[in-house]
Amino acid sequence: MTATTLAPRPVQTEQPDEVPTRRRRLPVPGVLIALVLAVVLPLLGGSTGALSDKNALLLSIACTYAMAGISLNVLMGYAGQISLGQFAFVGAGAFTVGIVTSVDQLRLPWIVGVVLAAAAGALLAFLVGLPALRLRGLYLAVVTVSVAYAAWQSLFRIEVIGGGSAGKVIPKPYIGNSAITSDSGILVLAFLALILVWQVDVNLTRSRLGRAFQAVKADEAVAASFGIDVARYKLLAFSISGAMAGIGGAIYATALGTVTGGAFDYARSLLLVVIVIIGGLGSRWGVVTASFFAVLLPDILIALFGTGFRGIDLILNAGLLMYTIARHPGGFAGAIEESREKRARRKGGEPPLPPTRPSLPALTRPRGMPPVPQLRSGVPVLQASGVSVRFGGLQAVDNAGLRVDRGTIVGLMGPNGAGKTTLFNAITGALSPDSGRIELLGVDVSALPTHRRTALGMSRTFQLIGLAKGQSVYENLLIAQHLAAPYGVASALTGLGPSRSYERDVRRRADEVLAGLGFGRYRDTMVGRLSHGQQRIVEIGCALVTSPELVMLDEPSAGMSPAAAEDLAATLRDMRDVLGRTVLLIEHNVPLVLDVSDELYVMDAGRVIANGEPVEVVTRPEVVTAYLGAAPSHEGASA
């Protein structure tokens, strides 16, 4: 159910620094830093400058590790996919730039080589990502280890790729007509590349892409229920990560001038894991800081304590990894975040509790989503028929069916294990039934995956809260609007084009829902810190935010106080009467179901045993028997 999460206490990846109505900031600091570096660094370098060639080279290497660190962070920190072979992608980039700039028939410009290096890294990572569609966690880790070894010991030792034992010589880069020969010149290129990768990463985290990754990391079933195509986003995470690592590899090769296959060994991939964990999973600046720390540490130690400290750096780093993951799973960035929060709590105290009876904001269907299909009269919103699901020897759902008409609340009751949630999952596509037909809004969706059904106009909640609990309330409301901002990958990564206006829309809508729910002060609170009842309200807000026609709620009152459950009844009626939604409701709370439902279905042992007018249905003998057992007959009761 849950995807790989490394940190039990996930860290917020981004400071909620933006007021959503404000236009997105341009990457001014990045551009400024780049310009200053471009002017200052060459002046420092050379024989007279303060920046020696050796230090310039070292800083260039640090930049490449930072890029590789950011790339691994995309996989492990955002998307929750473990990779112990990230240096294979770095190597793919390094040798690609080597081949295309040096082979006689090609001799492409250096900058083209960097682009192709990104492509090569992305391709290799995409291939590694394919098994990740089916494998989770530890199995995936073993595959990446094998890939790392195969690339290091085999692929990069092929004469044409790795240049054999002599290694691959990378010609000095040309920008226009001038060759960049000095180490400080290459350092400028390295910084520029790092700033580029950094900015792409910033754009990524602010886009639907980054949010989709986080949802996949939190829970794949929940992600799919928000309309996220889990397989596609896993492969995207690998590809983007591979491209970033490939750029890092191109700079690495350029800075060194000559690279051999042996330079991309398994231990370096592990060092990247050290960097990402120490820096803090999910934290961009934490990872970049840790990269510079790891690369510069050997020389710093030797400069401070003498050559006797050669080799101590890796011992320190490895020790730090064990300490960090055991004691501060959020890493360096997480530790700082924690202490800041502690201070803020001491100063401000807890914000007041939000109301348990939210007023639901009336929203129209977002412009990014196709309109809900018009229904011909007599066609129900949902029609499930002949659904059967078997788990091994257990017939969980047995030829069950139900019908939900527009603008009604339909209740689904039944004792534990009756198959209610299984039927729910068959309707949403979370599992594929052995037989049966599901029609949503007049469309046969039996063969469609969950995210396509969601796109048609369906949303759901989960028995155990379907939210990304490590993200803020606001972030969750953005994740839930995945389909409402259908801009492409290029727009997401550059921060240009349609993503800007779509992002404004979804952010405005999230704020409207927050205000409606009365959760304004909890906007940036991590969902996992809210009470169960509050989480449930946020979840309902997420289910309504894209104005779906059909809202499916799985035991919304579970864990609520009686008073809160009464408020919930009012909320459900508002959904139907004020918002005009159609609701399918699994509920154990009998008074609540009888109170709100227009029609009631009762399941037992996988079959629908009764349906009709709620108050009448619950008095039927078969329903009473299902709940209370057969009434003992007076004669043979003791048998």
Partner 1 sequence: MGQVLVLGLISGGIYALFALGVVMVYRGTGVLTFAQGEIGTAALFLAAFLVTDKGLPWFVGAAAALAFAVVIGCLFEFVVVRRMVGSDPVSVAVATVGLGLFLLAIEFRIFGDSPKALEGPFSGGVTIAGVFVTPTQIAALVVALALGFGLQAVLRRTDFGLGILAAAQDPAATRLVGVPLSKITLTVWGAGAALSAVAALLVEPTVGVFQPGYASELFVVGLAAAVIGGLTSLPGAVYGGILVGVAESAATRYLGDYNISGLRYLVVLVILLIALLGRQFWPQISALLRAADAGSKPTTTTPAGASA
Contact residues: partner 1, CB under 8 A? 4-8, 82, 84, 131, 134-135, 137-139, 141-143, 145-147, 149-150, 152-155, 157-158, 266-267, 270-271, 273-274, 277, 310-312, 314-315, 317-319, 321-322, 325-327, 329
Q: Which residues, listed in sequence order, are joined to residue 440 by a DSSP beta bridge? A: 382, 443
Least distance CB 149 / partner 1 (angstroms)? 4
Nearer to partner 1, 277 or 400 (CB): 277
Nearer to partner 1, 316 or 375 (CB): 316
Least distance CB 158 / partner 1 (angstroms)? 8
Least distance CB 299 / partner 1 (angstroms)? 16
Rounded-to-integer distance, Cα 585 and Cα 525, Å: 28
Per the rule left: phi > 0, alpha: psi between -120 and 50, beta: everything else, 549 is: alpha
How many whole angstroms from its chain centre is CA 48? 49
Least distance CB 358 / partner 1 (angstroms)? 33
Nearer to partner 1, 25 or 310 (CB): 310
Nearer to partner 1, 464 or 515 (CB): 464
Rounded-to-integer distance, Cα 203 and Cα 190, Å: 20
Nearer to partner 1, 149 or 627 (CB): 149
Least distance CB 447 / partner 1 (angstroms)? 14
Least distance CB 291 / partner 1 (angstroms)? 16
Rounded-to-integer distance, Cα 89 and Cα 120, Å: 8
Q: Which residues, listed in sequence order, are joined to residue 439 by a DSSP beta bridge? A: 383, 444
Rounded-to-integer distance, Cα 528 and Cα 530, Å: 6
Least distance CB 68 / partner 1 (angstroms)? 16
Least distance CB 460 / partner 1 (angstroms)? 26
Nearer to partner 1, 124 or 542 (CB): 124
Nearer to partner 1, 217 or 460 (CB): 217
Nearer to partner 1, 275 or 593 (CB): 275
Least distance CB 72 / partner 1 (angstroms)? 12
Nearer to partner 1, 156 or 198 (CB): 156
129, 235 contact by CB (below 8 A)? yes
Rounded-to-integer distance, Cα 136 and Cα 379, Å: 41
Nearer to partner 1, 16 or 311 (CB): 311
Rounded-to-integer distance, Cα 218 and Cα 228, Å: 13
Instruction: Annotate 330-399 with DSSP letters as a single string.
Output: THHHHHHHHHHHHHHHHHH-PPPPPPSSPPPPP-PPPTTSPPPPPPPTT--SEEEEEEEEEETTEEEEEE
Instruction: Annotate 162-178 with DSSP letters as a single string.
Output: H-GGG-EEPPPPEETTE
Nearer to partner 1, 338 or 566 (CB): 338
> Helix or strand or coil: residue 554?
strand
Least distance CB 559 / partner 1 (angstroms)? 21
416, 459 contact by CB (below 8 A)? no
Rounded-to-integer distance, Cα 337 and Cα 477, Å: 22
3-state secondary structure 62-113: HHHHHHHHHHHHHHHHHCCCCCCCHHHHHHHHHHHHHHHHHCCCCCCCHHHH
Least distance CB 301 / partner 1 (angstroms)? 12
Instruction: Annotate 572-615 with DSSP letters as a single string.
Output: HHHHHHTS--EEEEE-S-HHHHHHH-SEEEEEETTEEEEEESHH
Least distance CB 60 / partner 1 (angstroms)? 24
Q: Which residue has the tokens 């009762």?
A: 602
* Angstrom distances, CA of residue 265 to CA of 91, 93, 153, 205, 349: 9, 15, 8, 30, 50
Least distance CB 122 / partner 1 (angstroms)? 20
Nearer to partner 1, 82 or 593 (CB): 82
Least distance CB 163 / partner 1 (angstroms)? 13
Nearer to partner 1, 86 or 547 (CB): 86
* Angstrom distances, CA of residue 612 to CA of 241, 308, 602, 616, 619: 54, 84, 9, 7, 11
* Angstrom distances, CA of residue 469 to CA of 217, 516, 529, 538: 11, 21, 8, 11
- Residues ≥6 apart with Cβ < 8 Å to 205: 13, 14, 78, 284
Nearer to partner 1, 154 or 258 (CB): 154
Least distance CB 317 / partner 1 (angstroms)? 7
- Structure token pair of residue 150: 């195969």
Q: Which residue has the tokens 């084009």?
A: 497
Nearer to partner 1, 139 or 285 (CB): 139
Rounded-to-integer distance, Cα 382 and Cα 392, Å: 28
Element (H, E) at 444: strand 443-444
Q: At what angle do helices 230-256 and 110-132 cross, to 10 degrees?
A: 140
